[in-house]
Amino acid sequence: MKKLLVLGVLAVFTLFTASSALASKCPQPRKTKSAPAGTAKMDKTGSADAAAGKKIYTKTAKPMACKMCHGDSGGGDGKLGKALKPAPRNFACAETMKDVSAGQMFWIIKNGSKGTGMVAHKSLKDADIWNVVKYIREELMH
């Protein structure tokens, strides 16, 4: 009986560590600076193109594709992201993302989050940024 209990505890522990290796924490600690109020309220995703945004996220963003840090499905678990502190935002974590507006995302993508791995993406035009914001909000946030 005792042996079974030990095995059970071990199994749960293994499952837990395996699943936590797949995605970042949720809720995720977040100290990111807020966009100026006017920008935070902006939302131009209505006329944006999510498919074009997906290309930026998965392939073309410079210096590297967003997925390298934020992960294929937005879990904040990309190959390069694992070593970063603070960790890349986990877009799949609704509890953390519920207060992050489209305008806030736009602002950080454009200007970066100082002192973190999230650099400013100066090579993206504003329209490109709205496209990638739309892709993240429609396909990766849930």
Residues that bind ligand HEC (CB under 6 A): 30, 32, 56, 61, 64, 66, 68-70, 80-81, 84, 86, 88-89, 100, 104-105, 108-109, 113, 116-118, 121, 132
CB of 9 to ligand HEC, least distance (A): 34
Measured at the CA of 42, the angle between CA 138 and CA 55, to 5 degrees, comes to 40
* Residue length of the chain: 142
* Min CB(17)–ligand HEC separation in Å: 22
**CA 57 to CA 68: how far, in whole Å?**
9
User: 């329209």: which residue's tokens?
Assistant: 127
Shorter beta-carbon distance to ligand HEC: residue 1 or 99 = 99
By beta-carbon proximity to ligand HEC, the closer residue of 2 and 31 is 31
* Chain centroid to CA 76: 5
**Cβ of residue 38: shortest distance to ligand HEC, in angstroms?**
16
Please give the radius of gyration of the chain, using alpha carbons only, rounded to the nearest integer. 17
